[in-house]
Every structure is written in structure tokens, then in C-alpha cells.
Structure 1
Amino acid sequence: MDAAYATRDPVQAELAARVAGIGHRARTVSIATLASEVDAIRAAALPHGLYPAVAVTHAIEAALARGERGALVIGWLDILRDAVACDRHDGPACETYLAACSVRLSG
């Protein structure tokens, strides 16, 4: 894991590693596999209160459902990695990450 995204929280560290793994495989696996792996991140983040990460996973899942692939999804995985490492877990933090996803979408 990149030192810039290192965290002391073992859950966040494990999720960040999983996001990185998804990113490495994103160009070669099916949309269904990507969606399943992103959903697993959401399911793991939710009980730990990592709400910005949960919000971003919903945006990624919606993009995958629309058939998005390639650089756009890779960009959203970068945002997800940041959201996983975020120390804030409130509504405004979720809105900030969703706005970042929106900016990526409009490019």
C-alpha cells in the first residue's frame, strides 16, 4: 500500500489493500466481478462506520450497472481508496467524496 494512504486502523488498511487489488484487475475482469468486489468493500466498510467509502461504492456500483469501464472506473477506485482512508465519517465527508465522483463523471 502507498505510504500516502497508510493508516493505523487495521480495517481501513485491509480495505485499502482490497481496493488496490480491484484496481489492478479492473481492466481484465468482468463487470459482474468488479461489482461483486466493490459490493464486498461496501459490506465490510458499513459496519465500521466508513460512510464515505460506502457512498463511493454506491456510485461505482451505479456506474458499473450503466456499463462503465476503463479509466472512469479506475478514477473512482482512486476516490474509493481515499474514502477508505478518510478519518471523517460524517455526512459532509460523504458529500465531498460523492462530489469528487461527480467531477470524475463529467470529466
Structure 2
Amino acid sequence: MHAGLEGVRTELHGRIAAIGARTASRVELAQEIDAIRAIAHRAGMHPAVTVAHLLDDALSRGEHGPLVHGWLSVLNDAVASARHDAAACDTFAAACAVRFNG
């Protein structure tokens, strides 16, 4: 694995853990998710970008509390994904739909 990508993964996992460890307003959460999305986008980590977009949508709908922690878990999985193609994005999007929309 490329050392640079591993450093990005480490940073993103740290940011996600920090979100989960504190109570933040929806605005603060949205700002941090946007930063995570931008970093993932620059690194070509497309599944993480997809999940970050979906998480941002969930925050916009007013989701909070334990549901956000579930979204963060999926975002961590997307960051860890070795695949970065459209099919991987679709798989993560489908997983989010099933897990959070029933």
C-alpha cells in the first residue's frame, strides 16, 4: 500500500474517532465531515467521499446521537476500504441505505 495513502487513512480514522469521542453541534459535525470529505476526495478515496456525502445529508435531515455513531462506523469502514472504484461507492451507498433507512 502506498505510504501516503496510509497516512491519509490514519488522519481520517483519527478525525472520525475524535468526532465520536465528543459532543458537537450539527454545524460542527457538518464542518468536520466536510473536512473529511475534502481530504478523502484529494486522496481518491471515493467510498469515503460517498459515505461523507450521505452522512452530511443525514445531518441535514436532523439525525443525531446514536445514529451519527452508526454513520461514523460506516465512514471508518469506507476509509479502510482498499477499493476506490464506482462499484465500491455503490456498495457503501447501498449499505448505508439498508442500515439507516430500513
Normalising by structure 1, report the TM-score. Answer: 0.87
Number of aligned residue pairs: give it: 98
Alignment of 1:94-105 (within 5 A): 94-105=89-100
Q: Percent identity?
A: 54
Report the TM-score, using the length of structure 2 for normalisation: 0.91
| 2:82 is equivalent to residue 87 of structure 1 | yes
Structure 2 counterpart of 1:103, one-letter code: V
Q: Which runs of 4+ in 1 moved over 2 A?
A: none
What RMSD in Å do the two structures reach over aligned CA positions? 1.2
CA distance in 2, matches of 1:13, 1:96: 23
Which residue, out of 13, 16, 21, partners 1:16? 13
Shift in Å, 1:92: 0.7
Unaligned runs of 5+ in 1: 1-7
Partner of 2:33: 38
Unaligned runs of 5+ residues in structure 2 are none
Q: Return the offset for 1:106.
A: 2.3
